């Protein structure tokens, strides 16, 4: 990957960043973004030949650095584990990092000048930080690629197919398309997703990891 090419995780965050608010989709299902980001890191490391998966486990092929700190830290964590774990377990473990991991990826986009960090006041009392795009070029380009792909018969490159697969597997596609568009484009989206073996193999793992995080998250009741 060239130094200028965005990672799958970075492109994914740009897609789900709301243009007007500079925040992620507020109505996304619980943990959907965390799971999507975790899976995107696994996919990126697979594309780079650092890891591979089979029906039962994920294993390391090479520990050579990728040149991306977030990917390298993820690879180091996987390499340090002495027990062979299934892919769903790694997606769960990485996904549990949630906000802290998302902030690292956001910071990488800020450092590269793709996003800017802006502090706003919420209700004039609490401070919150938002991340609007600096020019919007990268954000529009990524979304445009996805929309062009699912609305055409073009043969996708592997990375775009994986992005569509992640959006579909975590229901984030529902925030990009209307219900009518989802119905009309379902066959096309399924075709794109099924083109890549990584999408097919990780689909079930994403669902397993998602459910594992939900099952192990305490429910907070307000009386």
Q: What is the pLDDT of residues 122-154, one digit of tens each?
A: 554 545 555 555 555 565 678 888 999 999 999
Assess whether pLDDT exceeds 60 at residue 117.
Answer: yes
Q: Do residues 6 and 162 touch, judged by C-beta distance below 8 A? A: no
Distance CA 36, CA 197 (A): 17
Instruction: Place 2 in a pLDDT band, splitting at 50, 70 and 90.
Output: very low
Question: Which of 187, 221, 208 has its CA nearest to residue 88?
Answer: 208
What's the DSSP call for residue 173? G
Percentage of the residues of the chain whose pLDDT score is greater than 70: 81
pLDDT at 98: 84
What value does the mean pLDDT of the chain take? Answer: 83
pLDDT digits (tens, 9 = 90+) for 14-46: 888 776 666 776 667 778 889 999 999 999 999
Average pLDDT over residues 190-201: 87
pLDDT at 221: 44
Distance CA 178, CA 213 (A): 28
Distance CA 120, CA 19 (A): 15
Q: Is the dihedral of CA 206, 109, 132, 120 positive or negative?
A: positive
Place of tokens 């899976």: 39
Assess whether pLDDT exceeds 80 at residue 51.
Answer: yes
Which comes out higher in pLDDT, residue 197 or 74?
Answer: 74
| Region at 124 (left for phi over 0; alpha for psi -120 to 50; beta for the rest) | left
Percentage of the residues of the chain whose pLDDT score is greater than 90: 43
pLDDT at 223: 40
Average pLDDT over residues 54-63: 86
Question: Which of 75, 81, 77 has its CA nearest to residue 50?
Answer: 75
Instruction: Place 120 in a pLDDT band, splitting at 50, 70 and 90.
Output: low
């Amino acid at each position: 990957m060239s130094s200028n090419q965005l990672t799958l995780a970075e492109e994914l965050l740009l897609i789900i960043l709301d243009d007007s608010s500079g925040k992620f989709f507020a109505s996304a299902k619980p943990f959907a973004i965390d799971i999507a980001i975790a899976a995107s890191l696994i996919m990126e490391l697979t594309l780079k030949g650092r890891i591979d998966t089979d029906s039962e486990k994920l294993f390391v092929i090479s520990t050579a650095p990728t040149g991306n700190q977030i990917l390298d830290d993820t690879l180091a964590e996987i390499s340090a584990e002495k027990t062979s774990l299934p892919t769903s377990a790694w997606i769960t473990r990485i996904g549990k990092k949630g906000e802290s991991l998302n902030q690292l990826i956001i910071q990488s986009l800020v450092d590269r000048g793709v996003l800017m960090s802006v502090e706003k006041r919420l209700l004039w009392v609490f401070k919150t930080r938002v991340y609007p795009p600096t020019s919007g070029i990268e954000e529009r380009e990524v979304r445009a690629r996805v929309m062009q792909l699912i609305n055409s018969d073009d043969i996708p490159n592997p990375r775009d197919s994986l992005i569509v697969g992640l959006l579909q597997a975590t229901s984030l596609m529902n925030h990009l398309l209307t219900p009518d568009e989802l119905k009309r484009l379902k066959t096309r989206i399924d075709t794109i997703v099924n083109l890549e073996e990584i999408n097919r193999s990780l689909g079930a793992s994403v669902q397993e990891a998602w459910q594992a995080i939900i099952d192990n998250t305490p429910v907070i009741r307000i009386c």
